[in-house]
Chain A
């Protein structure tokens, strides 16, 4: 990435005056069984429609896989849900009471949406313990963060997550020194520390060995139920191994939805993938 692009990355701005639009996001209302509503969302960059009339719903406790060719809009979709990109139109609701489009990234995160990036981004200068500690759910205001002290329960929680992601032995190792796969896990671990209701996981097994993949699959399946999980993945074998329901994204909208077998036999899906 050129230095210029790096500047641009940092040049984005908030369009939202978040102080004005304070809404209560303490409790997600999922009484209708759905945790995420994405309806008629469209976003275009310079005339190119990255997302086009996108509609889908995620149920409470569901594990959903999203697949699709490059440029289908998977990452942009995640950007919209987590507040990084604002759509031109459409609505995105978290449960029935929380309008995600009116919130900033930190507010969305606090409301209970966690995200793992495609490129693993952990804080390289911090050790594993500190990475997890910073991600931990709780009051993240300036003063509270300054005064924060770890209680023994919180300490135990970090240790147990570290155990879950298999990094207990390296707790004081700098995250920058971890292998690619370990960084992926650390990032998932940070997600867990946030204790989100909805997890958005972008390409969790890229660069992993088969063993690590299996382990990741197990982890994600075990998370479903208590959490809702959306996984975007290229690796078909991995998707087949964990997915109950699969959505195929193509040119910014949902092309097909169903079990892995159903979508694999869907004529339109075959055309798109073979036509590539």
Chain B
């Protein structure tokens, strides 16, 4: 049995089995249930096949009125454009997309009918108006779900689409409702409805209770009421509206800051490896962006190897990308950069050459087109804090990931013997060598570390942007800007500079537009370097001078 219909069955069971029937065997039983196909139900199904959207609307109403347990799955299928009837015998079916057409389940018998090609099916078409009716109907049905989350979603679905009957139903439901979140949502909805009541007292009371409501519908209604003929209502609305707008403005800023932080995290991730190679070793690695790109392609390859475990593949890609990019980095250091120490401009040119080679290599191996890297389910969706503020999970994860990478890197530099050697070599090469540190080995490992981190950044970027041969180029200049702005040789500086630039960029975007914001940030950094050539957090002291 296909996954789709199975899920619907479970939903059906969840909704209607208040009895002890809900056991592990209930699924099997439900398939064998003898459906009582009432006349209105069958009529409604026939009506659904009509061409007129009005008639289809009536059919939906009729279906809901039957209180039949199959209605919800029908409406959901209809909404997703998965409700069909066969051209041959006009059986209404729910289809799930398979390779050569649709796997079908009949609506009446809830029986699997095998699959049919698209040409043998006729879709039950819906328009926007119908979609609205469908959503509201599904929501009404869902209100009876034992799952509080489903009920909450159902209430939210109803905003702006309620009628008098709906409100009465809600008020009735409110008496039984125990979940506080659902209750407050329903209350808001009822209050919003009260705003239209025309009764002054009710309206004023509703305005008062909705004083802090962030629901967009509240705002829409108040916008209308603020010009109300009644002076009391108008002024109360204006005050409430002002308060709500202030709050919305605040949350809007919080949201922008969150966007900025996530962009900043991307910048920090991209730049932090560079902060090691450029900041600590003084090597200009123009191929840094391509090392990021390799990390992103590593993610792609691992997902190709295990297509059924996208999430696990993503987790595995982190160490894998570190190893791939790190090894390539060490190779670059041993073969090219080693011969160019003390000649930074030549290093810049040589590594740029390497970046071209890597780009073309990827183009030849994987094709010049962008590759799709999938996002695991747990990264989709968002964390809703209130109606005005919801944080998407992928951005949240990026921020945490960035902080984790930074912490690990910081600990490596500050606590491990490799880190101490890196610091020693970066401060005084000949002295470090005199103390028995094998500078050339440290160089190779440091470069490998910085490159590996670039690869890790690539894994994160694969979740945000297109993975293609030009991925690296898009980030190299930004990365250099972050490092230079933060102060070379300073990991904290890189972190703060990345976040600052990310937030600044996002705050400028609303009035300047994305491209202009970026240009302004670039110009700002160019000017900033003139004033403070050694960045926000320069290394001090005589050693830094000479």
Contacts and interface: CB of A to CB of B under 8 A. Distances in A.
Interface of A: 1-9, 11-13, 45-46, 48, 50, 85
A48 B545 CA distance: 14
Contacts of B544: 5, 8
A-B pairs, 5 with minimum CB distance: A4-B282, A3-B282, A46-B541, A45-B542, A11-B533
Given A7-B282, A9-B545, A48-B541, 12 more contacts: A1-B429, A2-B282, A4-B280, A4-B282, A4-B426, A4-B488, A12-B533, A12-B545, A45-B542, A45-B545, A46-B540, A48-B542
B24 interface: no
Contacts of B426: 2, 4
A8 B280 CA distance: 12
Contacts of A11: 533-534
Nearest to A7: B282
A4 B533 contact: no
Contacts of B534: 8, 11
Contact of A8 (B281, B283, B344, B546): B546
A248 to B, nearest CB: 22
A45 B282 contact: no
Q: Is the interface of A mostly helix, strand, loop or mixed?
A: mixed
A85 B217 CA distance: 65
B541 A45 contact: yes
A235 B426 CA distance: 33
Contacts, number: 53
Contacts of B541: 45-46, 48
A47 to B, nearest CB: 9
Interface of B: 280-283, 341-344, 425-429, 488-489, 533-534, 539-546
Nearest to B284: A3
A13 B541 CA distance: 15
Given A8-B534, A11-B534, A13-B533, A3 B283 contact: yes
B354 to A, nearest CB: 18
A12 B540 CA distance: 12
Nearest to A13: B533
Contacts of A8: 534, 539, 544-546
B540 A45 contact: yes
Interface centre among B281, B429, B542 (most CB of A within 10 A): B542
A3 B375 CA distance: 42
Contacts of B341: 3
Contacts of B343: 3
Q: Which of B344, B534, B545 neighbours the largest number of chain A CB atoms within 10 Å of its CB? A: B545
| Interface residues of B, dominant DSSP | loop
A46 B540 CA distance: 6
A8 B426 CA distance: 12
Nearest to A79: B545
A105 B341 CA distance: 30
B542 A7 contact: no
Contacts of B546: 1, 5, 8-9
A70 to B, nearest CB: 13
B344 A7 contact: yes
25 contacts: A1-B429, A2-B428, A2-B429, A3-B281, A3-B282, A3-B283, A3-B341, A3-B344, A4-B281, A4-B282, A4-B489, A5-B544, A6-B344, A7-B344, A7-B488, A8-B534, A8-B539, A8-B545, A8-B546, A9-B545, A11-B533, A12-B545, A13-B533, A45-B541, A48-B542
Contacts of A45: 540-542, 545
B122 to A, nearest CB: 72
B156 to A, nearest CB: 57
A3 B489 contact: no
Contacts of B429: 1-2
Contacts of B542: 45-46, 48, 50
Contacts of A13: 533
B285 to A, nearest CB: 13
Contacts of A3: 281-283, 341-344
A179 B296 CA distance: 55
A13 B530 CA distance: 9
Nearest to A9: B546
B333 to A, nearest CB: 14
Most B C-beta atoms less than 10 A away, residue of A1, A4, A6, A48: A4
Contacts of B427: 2
A41 to B, nearest CB: 16
Nearest to A5: B546
Contacts of A50: 542
Contacts of A5: 543-544, 546
Nearest to B347: A3
Contacts of B344: 3, 6-7
Nearest to A76: B542
A11 B529 CA distance: 10
A6 B341 CA distance: 11
A45 B542 CA distance: 6
Nearest to B531: A13
B488 A6 contact: no
B355 to A, nearest CB: 20
Nearest to B533: A11
A120 B341 CA distance: 23
In the complex, which of the residues A2, A13, A45 has the most CB atoms of chain B within 10 Å of its own CB atom?
Answer: A2
A1 B344 CA distance: 13
Contacts of B543: 5
Contacts of A6: 282, 342, 344
